[in-house]
Amino acid sequence: MAIKYNADSKTFILETRDSSYLMEISRYGNLLHLYYGDRIPDENLDYLIKIQDRGFSPNPNEAGNDRTFSLDYLAQEFSTDGKGDYRIPSIEVINGDGSRIFSGKVDGYKIYKGKYCTTGMPSLRAISEDSVQTLEIRLKDNESKAAVILYYSVFEEKNIITRAARFINEGRESIRLHKLMSVTMDFRLSDYDLVTFDGRHTMEREFTRTPVRSGVQSVQSCRGASSHQHNPFAILCERNTNEDYGRCYGYALIYSGNFIIEAEKDQYKQVRLNAGINPKSFSFVVEPGEEFQAPEVVLAYSGKGFTTLSHLYHNIFRENLCRSPYIKEPRPILINSWEAAYFDFNEEKLLQIAKDALEMGMELFVLDDGWFGKRDDDNSGLGDWKVNLNKLPNGISGLSDRIHEMGLQFGIWIEPEMVSEDSDLYRAHPDWCLKAPGRPMTRGRNQLVLDLSRKDVCDYLIDSINAILQDAKIEYVKWDMNRSISDVWSAQLPAHRQGETLHRYILGLYYIMDHVILTHPEVIFCGCSGGGGRFDAAMLYYQPQIWCSDNTDAKARLKIQYGTSFAYPVNSLEAHVSICPNHQTRRTVPIETRGIVAMDGILGYELDAFKLTKEEKDACREQIHFYKKHYHIIADGDYYRLSSPYENPYYTAWQHVSKDRKKSLVSLVLTDKESNDAQMYLRLKGLDKDAMYTVEGLEGRYSGALLMHAGLPVPGELNEYEGIQFCLEMI
């Protein structure tokens, strides 16, 4: 059994194949955390709880004269608030009497087969009921009659535990919820680093590693989406942890809106980590008999470094998260019209780009922004999802038919969540966007945000998008969101409930996707938010791939894709070859290198094929052939980061290894070239040490042990920004 309860020691034991997670009910009913780490025997860990009289650490009433028991220093699974624990709390409420206290005591539990459900939000699914076991622990505040249900599902063979929380008001007065964390985890030791993935538009998910210091540190989004600036994924690790060694804990929040991941080193050098919805600008009124669901967090533990942790996330996200059937299928090689044409196109220009793309071996033509409404730039037309007949006189269906007659599939770009003031939709329904009455509006990209907390807005978008998909043969949709949310105020919510708007927006977005994306499994949906501004696990629930970044510069992508790989599988990352000088950085990189970097994901192209030279077209054709030949190693295999672009100034390298370890693809890009430089060697990973391999381009046979310990020589003739790939096969 993956979950057990020992009644004698009042201990809950959760076990995966390689890890153990234990917690205990204290003598006063508090749920205390005992252990999470490498799998250990089922033993009584009560000896780990050391109680003592701590100055200025108050004692709960039920402890009587016992001054040694205080929640101010004990490790907990879900903290109280206002009862003597002064660390960052799991929950913040305002009760009907105005008090801000929640004191949850264990009030029962359930253990059952299968996976719990997070109402209205994405979550991992169980492939079979027998593969997952769930524990529910109920915490009750006896004074307010409020309860919190803590959920734990154990994917035993996947080495994954998920957590979530649900708040229930069982009292007679409304309660205002200001904070409800999906996970709280306390550690008795403090020698940890916090790894986060930060950045900005066109430079997302950069690897950031900082020691956990005394006090509170956090990463968070308050932009209405998970954001370019910070990703809802973090790692807590020991100071000596690297790719192959050390203990590390992963926290992946399945949520696309405002989030926070916060860590606190307390006065006794203990560490608490919280993850959940950002309490900034958040409040939710829970009436008697109502409840509030917090999103799910996917926990993973590795005692063998970052690589093993990444493999756990890659496997669970590929197999138990995404609902699209395409997550397990090769994607067509696409060409996107954006950098080729922007808004300046007509049907004949698009057909010419498609014709040249077809000759290069591409399989899918995607029409980006500008095909609808009055849309000749980004200042008008959003919200009017009717084809612009001045550009496309035969409509989307006519263009689609001609593209299909050429032998290509067809896709389009949409941005459903936004509206232009210069649009028929805004003129008809100005109250449908987020804007505070009597205040001047804030614009981003000269567009406003539709209020998805309103069902009428959601239903309009569902009908509009489904009508487009029913009107023409469309195999691919790029779903974009091109601004951060501001001026948050909904015309449908009373003043005391305005703090619910942003969370209701996200629930509305999921509602739309439930009724569009999940009802069109034949369509590949690609997520986008100005590139990688909403690259999160919740979006992968709906979309098998997400546009990694608007920055298509191959050198910049080395860092972006490096950071992304820590949690997200390669076959979810859409990456394109674009023209040079690059439109974002003005850097020129060989087209062969652009292909090597782009095929570290879902390969595509973002250029005007008509303007390419014969040599460039030949290079693209060769890339497509090579990528398709090795697709299953890249998309389905294990991923290894062989070097860090932050630590190695000379080259960045990575490796894909098939699950059976019989085939491997190694990629390297030289990032700095010195005169008369030293010979460098690249040590490989993931091979069978006892097997023999051939290396394409090298004579002889090499053992896996030799390739992993001695490595391959990096060719000295490589120039700066040039790349190379090695194909290995077991013999």
Q: Within this chain, do residues 407 and 517 fall inside the same structural domain, yes or no? A: yes
Q: Is the pLDDT of residue 183 over 90?
A: yes
Q: How many domains does one find in the chain?
A: 3
From the list 550, 600, 608, 638, the catalytic residue is 550
Q: Within this chain, do residues 310 and 382 fall inside the same structural domain, yes or no? A: no
Residues in the chain: 731
Model confidence at 609, pLDDT cuts 50, 70, 90, reads confident
Q: What is the average pLDDT across 316-332?
A: 96
Model confidence at 526, pLDDT cuts 50, 70, 90, reads very high
Residue 324 CB partners (closer than 8 Å, separation 6+): 517, 521, 524, 525, 542, 543, 544
Model confidence at 339, pLDDT cuts 50, 70, 90, reads confident
Give which of 241, 220, 311, 236 is closest to 655, Cα–Cα: 311
Q: Is the pLDDT of residue 520 over 90?
A: yes
What is the spatial distance between Cα 715 and Cα 723, in angstroms, rounded to a whole number? Answer: 10
* CATH number of the structural domain spanning residue 313: 2.70.98.60
Domain boundary, last residue among 291, 320, 349: 320
In this predicted structure, what is the pLDDT of residue 272? 98
Q: Within this chain, do residues 632 and 667 fall inside the same structural domain, yes or no? A: no
State pLDDT tens for residues 562-595.
Answer: 999 999 999 999 999 999 999 999 999 999 999 9
In this predicted structure, what is the pLDDT of residue 44? 86
Q: Within this chain, do residues 531 and 601 fall inside the same structural domain, yes or no? A: yes
Q: Within this chain, do residues 463 and 521 fall inside the same structural domain, yes or no? A: yes
Q: Is the pLDDT of residue 221 over 90?
A: yes
Residue 19 CB partners (closer than 8 Å, separation 6+): 36, 37, 38, 39, 159, 161, 301
Give which of 388, 408, 405 is closest to 347, Cα–Cα: 388
Model confidence at 608, pLDDT cuts 50, 70, 90, reads confident
Taking all residues of the chain, what is their mean pLDDT, rounded to a whole number? Answer: 96
Q: Within this chain, do residues 515 and 366 fall inside the same structural domain, yes or no? A: yes
Q: Within this chain, do residues 57 and 206 fall inside the same structural domain, yes or no? A: yes
Query: Is 638 a residue of the active site?
Result: no
Give which of 165, 125, 198, 132 is closest to 274, Cα–Cα: 165
Q: What is the average pLDDT across 395-417?
A: 97
Please give the model's pTM, rounded to 2 decimal places.
0.97
Q: Is the pLDDT of residue 240 over 90?
A: yes
Q: Within this chain, do residues 302 and 413 fall inside the same structural domain, yes or no? A: no
In this predicted structure, what is the pLDDT of residue 148? 98
Mapping DSSP onto H, E and C, the string for 389-405 reads CCCCCCHHHHHHHHHHH
Model confidence at 340, pLDDT cuts 50, 70, 90, reads confident
Eight-state DSSP code of residue 450 = B
Q: Within this chain, do residues 258 and 188 fall inside the same structural domain, yes or no? A: yes
Q: What is the average pLDDT across 350-364?
A: 95
- The pair of structure tokens assigned to 222 is 């308050």
In this predicted structure, what is the pLDDT of residue 42? 79
State pLDDT tens for residues 368-392.
Answer: 999 999 999 999 999 999 999 999 9
Q: Within this chain, do residues 189 and 165 fall inside the same structural domain, yes or no? A: yes
Q: Is the pLDDT of residue 1 over 90?
A: no
Q: Is the pLDDT of residue 680 over 90?
A: yes
* CATH number of the structural domain spanning residue 560: 3.20.20.70
Give which of 468, 462, 433, 467 is closest to 447, Cα–Cα: 433
Q: Within this chain, do residues 304 and 373 fall inside the same structural domain, yes or no? A: no
In this predicted structure, what is the pLDDT of residue 193? 98
Percent of the chain residues past pLDDT 70, beyond the cut: 100
Domain boundary, last residue among 305, 320, 335: 320
State pLDDT tens for residues 448-488.
Answer: 999 999 999 999 999 999 999 999 999 999 999 999 999 99
- What is residue 328's three-state secondary structure? helix
Domain boundary, last residue among 252, 286, 320: 320
Query: Is 480 a residue of the active site?
Result: yes
In this predicted structure, what is the pLDDT of residue 460? 97
**Is residue 286 within 8 Å of residue 169, measured between CB atoms?**
yes
* CATH number of the structural domain spanning residue 723: 2.60.40.1180
State pLDDT tens for residues 265-316.
Answer: 999 999 999 999 999 999 999 999 999 999 999 999 999 999 999 999 999 9
Q: Is the pLDDT of residue 190 over 90?
A: no
Q: Is the pLDDT of residue 356 over 90?
A: yes
From the list 480, 536, 600, 638, the catalytic residue is 480
Q: Within this chain, do residues 510 and 646 fall inside the same structural domain, yes or no? A: no
Domain range enclosing 601: 325-636
Residue tagged 């059952």 (tokens): 112
